[in-house]
Every structure is written in C-alpha cells, then in structure tokens.
Amino acid sequence: SFCVELEKNILLFDYFEGNLPKFDKNKKLYVFASHSHSDHFSLVIFDLRSKYKNIKYILSDDIKVKKEEDIHLVKENETVYIDDLKIETLKSTDLGVAFIITVESKIIYHAGDLNWWHWEGEVDSENKKMEKMYKHEIEKIKNRYFDIAFVPLDSRQGKYFYLGFDEFMRNTNTKLAFPMHCCGDYSLVDKLSKMEESKDYKDRIIHVNEINREFDIK
C-alpha cells in the first residue's frame, strides 16, 4: 500500500492491512483499489468512514461492492472526473486496472497488477502473450510525464523480475519511481540499480527498503 499526501488531497492506494498514519481531516481522502485480489483490496477500507467524513472510494469494477454515494466504480480504458481529480485507467495484464491521477498539478501513476508477468517454467506462448499485452498498454502512455509512479518489481519472477519496471521507465518520462509488489525482498531495488539496463534511470528509483517508511518529496 502507498499513500500520497498533497497540499489539499490524500490518495491511498490498494490498502489492505497494516498501520495507517493519522491523516489530516481538513484534506480530502481518496481511497483507490486497483482490483479485488486480497493483497490489493480489503473491506477494511470502509472502516475509514468512521474517522474521515470527507472520503471517497475509487474502485475497479471487478470489486463487487454495493455502489453508494461515496463509491465510484471504474473500468479499463476510461477517463472520469471526481472533484478536482482527473482519473484515467489502463487495462491490467492480470485483473482490474492501473490508475493515472492528475491532481494539484501532479500526475501520479499506480500500476496495480499491470506488469510484464514473465514466469520461469511457463510455456513460451504464454510469456509472449503477456509481453504483447503489457507492451500494448505501455504504448498508450509512451513518452508521458509522471511526477510519481508506483511500479511492480516482483521477486517471484526470478531473473525476469525487472522486465515490467524497465519497460515502463524506458517508455515514460517519470521523475520518481517507487518499486512495489516486492514480496518483502527489497534487495531487488539495489539489484536493479546495479544492472546495466537501469543506467539511464537508476537515479530516479526510490529505494524502498522497509514498511511504514515516509518520504518527503518536493
């Protein structure tokens, strides 16, 4: 889970467990869930209503919840406007959507499970299909600028752990990239930074190396 706090708004992405900071109640809180997998979504997010009155939920439409006044369901490849937020979606290569949010003159990307899922031991045709799907989605945002991006770097993929992250960074103009979905193996961040593939963008990778970490970004 990641949280972005701006001057007037707070964006909480794919929260499902763990301790949350105390949010400023004078700011608007937007809770995003990219899809229904249990490591990206939990009904616990609705408990936040008791603490924060100025709250809205933006959920992928594969999440089966009753639509209410403060719940907005989004599907792949659409653009919606909620208050001061412009929200664009991409189609995930797994389930649900990736989010692009424009707010307070910032552009933020959260991949959800949109990734180049190349698995060791998988048949070549399936890995090629996944490559094609991922590159098709990244082509939609080719050369776009992002202030912050949250992109998978998954240890379960073995030596192919970096493929999706690398493809994203090479095809976008991203100021700062946060690796996510590391499955607790934060050594992947250092490993990628030392690889030849990342030489052109390694200084833009944020070294996430523990949970409950705060970054002050100007």
pLDDT tens digits, residue range 17-42?
Answer: 988 999 999 999 999 999 999 889 99
Burial label, 116 (beta-carbon count in 10 A; 0-12, 13-18, 19+): buried
Question: What does the chain come to in residues?
Answer: 218
pTM value?
A: 0.94
What confidence tens digit (pLDDT) does each residue in 183-206 have? Answer: 777 889 899 999 999 999 999 999
The b/e string for 137-157 (b: 16+ C-beta within 10 A; e otherwise) is: bbeebeeeebbbbbbbbbeeb
Six-digit token string for 89: 């979606």
Residue 205 DSSP symbol: B
